[in-house]
Structure 1
Amino acid sequence: MRRPLPCLAALAVALGVAVPATAQQAASPQAYTLPDTQVFDLAARDDGQVYRIFVSVPTQAPPAEGFPTLYVLDGNAYFPGFAGERRIEEFAKQAGGGMLIVGIGYPTDQAYDVLRRRYDLTPVWPEKLPAGQAGGNEHFAKFLLDQLIPEIARRYRVAPERKSLFGHSFGGLFALHMLYTRPTAFEAIIAASPSIWWGDQSLLTEERAFAVRLASGKVAGRVSRLLLLTGERDDAATITWDSEALLQRLQPLSAYGLRTRFAKFEGETHITVPYRAITPTLRFALGVP
């Protein structure tokens, strides 16, 4: 009977015999580190909650105005895909390779910190959840705008006006919240399968207020471009329906400067939409076809 490779490796070491590379690799597999990537933790000033920040940095020199930046919510889950695409595009000398990718996550090896992301990305829903389990979107918005973005600008050479935001599901809900409440904070916003259903569609109140402000000329500055994405097989049909209905409501606002695009990914479910969205997101954020 053949012995397992780890046993052979141990015996070889005991006898002073060189161990073949394949046996060494099988005995002690090594962790993989994504090249061109930096990671640091940042604690929110008001409550000390720690966020893990992942950054994919182009190897090329930054342009005179600095790198454009894409902020990716749920960074533990989605940053690797966005970072991998950026590296491929840089290798191929395409536009997306020259973008700084910043993933915003939590100090965990899991794809999601379910409780913290729900708190950070949602408005309050008092009938369903007790305090502290939801409703922290304004807390998170302040961390993002007042602390993280300045920290990224301190560490890297970035173009201040060229920053975009990607969010999926609850992250898409938060991305729309940012559009409605801070319509000039980002150059582009990408909301993938946004959970507009949350809080009995309470986000519609913010949407209506935003529409009135924009149509009445009360939004000073260039409003964010919006890309709405959904999957043909999104887990709840209402997610797709809500996105399609939102597109129809927002299209008349193009007369007041709002640029909106929509795509439905054939065959994709709720959980597969984000990785299908990577290339369209980079192109939309950069304003390239």
Structure 2
Amino acid sequence: MARTWKRLASTLMLALALTGLAAAQAQQAQQTPPGYTMPSTHMFDITSDGGDIYRIFVSFPATEMPADGYPVLYVLDGNAMFASFAEARRIQEYYEVGKGIVVGVGYPGDQAYDVRRLDDYTPLLVDPPPPNVRHLAKYKSGGQDKFLDFLTGKLRTEISRRYKINADRQSLFGHSLGGLVALHTLYTRPQAFHSIVAASPSLEWNDQSILKEEREFTARVLAGKVPRTSRLMVVVGDRDIDDEPGPAAAFMKRMDALAVHGLRSRFHRYADEGHMTVPVRAVPDTLRFAFEVH
């Protein structure tokens, strides 16, 4: 009998403890507000043919779809950039500038930037590396063409499977090293996108190795070997560390000279903006450039 009472007492104490724990958890849940979920968005992971996992963020309109499908804007560094583009698109979706799909291309995790971007957005680091980037030599680089294969291949196919898109109205936005790979895309795959936006592109990267690609691209354009090319927009800020003493403006003068050969380009310099604030300032201009019919 005594053992029975002891067991009953133990069971009762355990039940009371569990009840107290449940009450404490419920109270904690009430004290912790829920996280914000952005309306009109989807998120999924996709694995490239090389086995790399990317986190994809999508902002889509609730308005009537255009007859030929939605235009698409791919935004690199999706973890950092997607929210700004998505919300700007959503509040304007009853206007032409909001009637498109924004696809943020990012990486698993909650950090704004992932070191994998170095491999995805850059050519192979020269050896020996320049002093200002020597500390980055321990990381992988040189995977930009593999990344573009994924961006224009498997990912584009998946987006077209999930949404009704306009295959002829797809655009690309990249900032900093993302802007560098955006220019690499223009030079090496000039018909891959309808429009390309390079924000504060890192033209100085790798001892300005991008200049060789620019010269080769220019030679092909002048020789009539590039019958059609993406539209190009470059944006920088007055306080931009990647635009001292002004290589972007000089670059755009060279691009403007190709206008008679079919390259349509424009340039914006934002007053008082620095390297990390240029993308936010560029959101409205980029959406108009990508989604409005010109």
Both structures adopt the same fold (TM-score exceeding 0.5): yes
Q: Does 1:102 align with 2:103?
A: yes
- Partners of 1:235 and 1:228 lie apart in 2 by 15
Separation (CA, whole Å) in 2 of partners of 1:270 and 1:245? 18
- Three-state SS of the structure 2 residue aligned to 1:191 is strand
**Aligned alpha-carbon RMSD (Å):** 2.2
1:43 paired residue number: 47
Q: Residue 113 of structure 2 aligns with which residue?
A: 112
Mean CA deviation greater in 127-136 or 190-199: 127-136
Give the aligned partner of residue 123 of structure 1. Answer: 123
TM-score after normalising by structure 1: 0.87
1:34 aligns with 2:41: no
One-letter amino acid of the counterpart of residue 98, structure 2: G
Aligned length: 267
Answering whether residue 169 of structure 2 is matched by residue 162 of structure 1, we say yes
Q: Work out the CA distance in 1 between the residues paired with 2:283 and 2:183.
A: 18
- Counterpart of 2:101, as a letter, is L
Identical counterparts, % of pairs: 49
CA contact (8 A) 2:59 2:86 kept: yes
Does the residue aligned with 1:281 lie in a helix, a strand or coil? helix
Q: Give the greater-gyration-radius structure (CA).
A: 2
Query: 1:287 & 1:177 partners in 2: Cα distance?
Result: 24
Deviation by residue 1:190-234 (Cα, 9 ceiling, x = unmatched): 0000001111000011111111111111113x3111001001001
Partner of 2:251: 246
* C-alpha separation in 1, matches of 2:289 and 2:266: 9
Residues 234-272 of structure 1 deviation map (CA, whole Å, 9 limit, x = unaligned): 12443x612111101111100100011001000001000
Counterpart amino acid of residue 261 in structure 2:
Y
| Superposition deviation, residue 125 in structure 1 | 1.4
Cα displacement (A) at 1:286: 2.5
- 1:34 maps to a residue whose letter is M
Gaps of at least 5 residues in structure 1 are 1-10
SS where residue 241 of structure 2 aligns?
Answer: coil
TM-score, normalised via structure 2 length: 0.86
The 5 A counterparts of 1:206-245 are: 206-220=213-227, 222-238=228-244, 241-245=246-250
1:88 aligns with 2:91: yes
- In the superposition, relative to structure 1, how do residues 132 and 111 fare at CA in structure 2: closer, same or farther (>3 Å)? closer
Deviation at 1:64, TM superposition (A): 1.5
State the partner residue of 1:4.
none
AA in 1 matched with 2:237: G
Aligned to 2:286: 281
Distance 2:113 2:221 in 1: 35
Q: Which amino acid aligns with 1:44?
A: S
Q: Which runs of 5+ in 2 are unaligned?
A: 1-19, 130-135
The equivalent residue for 2:273 is 268
Equivalent position of 1:257 in the other structure: 262
Aligned with residue 78 of structure 1, among 56, 76, 81: 81
Residue type of the alignment partner of 1:167: G
Q: After TM superposition, list the pairs within 5 Å mapping 1:7-26 onto structure 2.
A: none
Partner AA of 1:89 in structure 2: Q
SS of corresponding position for 1:189: strand
Query: Out of 190, 201, 209, which is 2:197 matched to?
Result: 190
186-195 or 53-62: bigger deviation? 53-62
Distance 1:56 1:237 in 2: 31
* Whole-angstrom distance in 2 between the partners of 1:61 and 1:131: 49
Stretches of 4+ aligned residues off by more than 4 angstroms: 23-26, 129-132
